[in-house]
Amino acid sequence: MHEQLKIKTIMAILKVQVNKRTALYVTFTEDTKPNKGGYYCQVYADPDLKYELDGFTIENSILHGLADPMARAKVVANSKVKAMYE
């Protein structure tokens, strides 16, 4: 019996300008248990999303109850990526 592949849909892509010459790209996919309601983010060196550099989660606890959780997730991701790569 073959296992069914679960394809995760990229919910958004964020361009983070790390410095004057470097931009990185962050994808957001909905996270699963136990962080349902949060996002798993992957950091890429290129806009074609071919060269993955890193990954991190944005916890559902900081997004819960917000009218626009993706907007908050983008702010958090922007800060995290800048802190990681500046």
Q: What is the pLDDT of residues 30-71, one digit of tens each?
A: 988 888 889 999 999 999 999 999 999 999 999 988 999 999
Q: Where are the domains of the chain?
A: 14-85
80 token code pair: 């995290």
The confidence score (pLDDT) of residue 39 equals: 93
Average pLDDT over residues 12-33: 93
Alpha-carbon gap, residue 75 to 41, rounded angstroms: 13
Please say if the pLDDT value at position 15 is more than 60. Answer: yes
Average pLDDT over residues 19-26: 94
**Residue 4 — very low, low, confident or very high, per pLDDT cuts 50/70/90?**
low
Please say if the pLDDT value at position 3 is more than 90. Answer: no
List CB contacts of 76: < 8 A, sequence separation 6 or more. Answer: 58, 62
H-helix or E-strand spanning residue 82: helix 69-85
